[in-house]
Structure 1
């Protein structure tokens, strides 16, 4: 029987905007909520965001709970970064979103990222010296930013959980619940989280 991980009392930020891959938003969010966590959809502006299915057809819209420029990593216990091609591309161009991700990594709290989501991590300079996986088209960007890429369904590097695509969601969801229950890890000594 699988070990049960309790996230009761934990608050999870889900950072996403228009173009997010619906399955990568919904399934991990449901997994952490089913384990007892509360979640907040954090985005670039108030209102609703448009999800996509495989980047080609519109999915559902989702209500934004918080605007990223008005949030602090101190309010949350973990961070989820779903993919979709245009979602992380928009996030990495927003200074508030990039700063939120960078500041979140500086806390040592766990982070889950899937598919194209690592683009935002690259922009925040938090992949240097870390091992992760992603959608194939993101891998060169990760390497160029100093990360090591492996082709596995789920990778955990000191609380940074990553997966490649929606097919990996079962393994990704199980691992983020486990890591989010574990809590903080030592802050990584390279990239934006390095001691200055």
Structure 2
């Protein structure tokens, strides 16, 4: 299957950290794959934030999470943003969507605060990962092996710490897509 045949779900809500969405979106689209925004919020555009405070661009939802199925996608990308991920953690359909990717053994990439979803979905146990430093303890409490590195791969899971690591994170996403059969 060519990279042009790949379909990547981006799971987010309002308050997504803009560069953590636009960087990976551009990388995926630039590689020729299809990027699809999936969200529990389907009643209008999602407003991104910059540094959790400043209003950014608006993004349209392509598929409501209740209608999305992991089997329709080759990979899941979860951008961060404190408000974004805190909202996602309270959405049972979003948590189930994430779980479905792991159950299917499909690649999942999460940056900054997005690994919080792994704790919520009870998927952090025994995983080596990284995240923004402020959620380190939450991930340790969920049983993760947290490390302070710009990029960590653990099986089908790719994690990064912050927007400072986006170049490496974006490259890892594209490499993962290229490696899929």
- TM-score, length basis structure 2: 0.96
Task: Give distance in 2, aligned partners of 1:180 and 1:111.
Answer: 11
Give the deviation of 1:30 after TM superposition: 0.7
Kindly indicate which of the two structures has a greater share of residues assigned to helix.
Answer: 2
Task: Give distance in 2, aligned partners of 1:181 and 1:139.
Answer: 30
Aligned pairs, number: 179
Q: Does 1:135 align with 2:127?
A: no
Instruction: Give the alignment partner of residue 40 of structure 1, picking from 36, 40, 50.
Output: 36
Residue by residue over 1:16-64, the C-alpha shift from the partner in whole angstroms, topping out at 9 and shown as x without a partner, is: 0000000000000110111111011001122210100001100011010
Aligned counterpart, 2:49: 52
Instruction: Give the alignment partner of residue 20 of structure 2, picking from 18, 24, 32.
Output: 24
Q: Does 1:83 align with 2:43?
A: no
Task: Give distance in 2, aligned partners of 1:7 and 1:21.
Answer: 26
- TM-score, length basis structure 1: 0.89
SS of the residue 2:4 aligns to: coil
Q: Which runs of 4+ in 1 moved over 6 A?
A: none
Aligned counterpart, 1:65: 62
1:106-117 matched pairs, under 5 angstroms: 106-117=103-114
* Structure 2: tracts of 5 or more residues without a match: none
> C-alpha root-mean-square deviation of aligned residues, in Å?
1.1
